[in-house]
């Protein structure tokens, strides 16, 4: 097709399953170097929705050579102001422009009284909120005309009104809405540690047929309470959960997140390739 930009897709090989988050600190490196170890990038949706400048140009240039996933942090799926029509229109426009392989956001809320709180906030695990999540995911998928993935978030408090476990809540939402799960293994571990449940019980309770992407990251231990900071290498217990997950998934894209105290790109890339090594060992 003359004049049409052919964008690469994610070939299902061991190497191509591994990606990293696109961060502005790495723009200078990526302008000068084409990564050869990792094979795809995940970009934060909101960083490119309002920009016609260098950030969007960076993403578009990267998209010529790599598959890209768009990962949102401000949809506020269970928020008071949903749907934010202006946000939705800008989101849809970016999806059309980038043609991402995956579109995702978080199962949480982020706004109250017209103000965005810049955090991924928890909600009660009740049938009422489960029904609300299913209804709103349906609206999003109808609006975008495609499936989305929702991510399980890290939380630092729970509600007395919880009537089911997190994995029971997630499984009900996934089955009824038809969306996919972006399974964040670091968040599973952080929540299990802070709230005192078994991470393996969580993983044994979810719908693995709905898992379409995996996140791994590093947390911070603050005097015995864990925070999902993405500021360290992946911890050993999270790698253990990754090994537990591997027999239950097939050709699922895996992404390393590193969002604070960000090291040079080659360091992030090497950390991500630890997942490739574990994946290769599991298939031998």
Q: What is the DSSP letter of 186?
A: H
CA-closest candidate to residue 5, choices 99, 90, 146: 99
The per-residue pLDDT for range 158-200, each reduced to its tens digit, is 999 999 999 999 999 999 999 999 999 999 999 999 999 999 9
The tokens for 60 are 């578009």
Q: What is the DSSP letter of 3?
A: T
The per-residue pLDDT for range 262-276, each reduced to its tens digit, is 999 999 999 999 999
CA-closest candidate to residue 91, choices 151, 30, 18, 143: 143
Sorted by where each begins, the domain ranges of the chain are 18-111+119-282
Q: What is the DSSP letter of 125?
A: -
Beta strands in the chain (DSSP E): 18-21, 40-44, 68-71, 102-106, 109-112, 115-121, 149-151, 180-184, 211-216, 220-222, 225-227, 254-256
Query: Which CATH number among 3.20.20.150, 3.40.50.1950, 1.10.10.60, 3.30.56.10 corresponds to the domain 18-111+119-282?
Result: 3.20.20.150
Q: Tens-of-pLDDT digits for all 284 residues of the chain?
A: 333 446 777 664 445 699 999 999 999 999 999 999 999 999 999 999 987 788 999 999 999 999 999 999 999 999 988 989 999 999 999 999 999 999 999 999 998 888 877 789 999 999 999 999 999 999 999 999 999 999 999 999 999 999 999 999 999 999 999 999 999 999 999 999 999 999 999 999 999 999 999 999 999 999 999 999 999 999 999 999 999 999 999 889 999 999 999 999 999 999 999 999 999 888 77
CA-closest candidate to residue 92, choices 146, 151, 150: 146
Residues 6+ apart with CB under 8 A from 126: 161, 162, 163, 164
> Which H/E stretch holds residue 119?
strand 115-121
Burial classification of residue 80, based on how many CB atoms lie within 10 Å of its CB (0-12 exposed, 13-18 middle, 19 or more buried): exposed
Burial classification of residue 102, based on how many CB atoms lie within 10 Å of its CB (0-12 exposed, 13-18 middle, 19 or more buried): buried
Residues 6+ apart with CB under 8 A from 179: 137, 141, 147, 148, 149, 150, 173, 210
Question: pTM to 2 decimals?
Answer: 0.94
């Amino acid at each position: 097709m003359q004049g049409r930009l052919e964008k690469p897709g994610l070939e299902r090989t061991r190497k191509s399953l591994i990606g990293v988050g696109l961060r502005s600190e790495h723009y200078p490196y990526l302008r000068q170097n084409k990564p050869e170890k990792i094979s795809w990038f995940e970009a934060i949706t909101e960083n490119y929705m309002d920009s016609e400048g260098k950030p969007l140009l960076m993403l578009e240039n990267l998209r010529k050579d790599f598959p890209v996933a768009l990962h949102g942090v401000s949809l506020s799926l269970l928020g008071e102001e949903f749907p934010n029509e202006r946000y939705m229109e800008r989101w849809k426009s970016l999806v059309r422009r980038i043609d991402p392989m995956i579109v995702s956001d978080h199962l949480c809320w982020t706004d109250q009284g017209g103000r965005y709180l810049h955090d991924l906030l928890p909600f009660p695990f009740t049938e009422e909120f489960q029904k609300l999540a299913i209804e709103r995911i349906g609206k999003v998928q109808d609006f975008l005309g495609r499936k989305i993935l929702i991510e399980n978030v890290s939380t630092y408090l729970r509600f007395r009104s919880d009537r089911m476990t997190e994995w029971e809540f997630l499984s009900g939402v996934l089955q009824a809405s038809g969306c996919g799960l972006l399974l964040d293994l670091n968040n599973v571990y952080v929540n299990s540690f802070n709230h005192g449940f078994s991470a393996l019980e969580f993983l044994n309770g979810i719908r693995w047929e709905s898992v379409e992407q995996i996140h791994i990251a590093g947390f911070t231990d603050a005097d015995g309470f864990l925070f999902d900071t993405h500021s360290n290498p992946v911890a050993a217990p999270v790698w253990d959960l990754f090994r537990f997950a591997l027999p239950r998934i097939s050709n699922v894209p895996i992404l390393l997140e590193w969002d604070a105290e960000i090291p040079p790109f080659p360091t992030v890339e090497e950390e991500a390739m630890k997942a490739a090594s574990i994946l290769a060992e599991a298939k031998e």
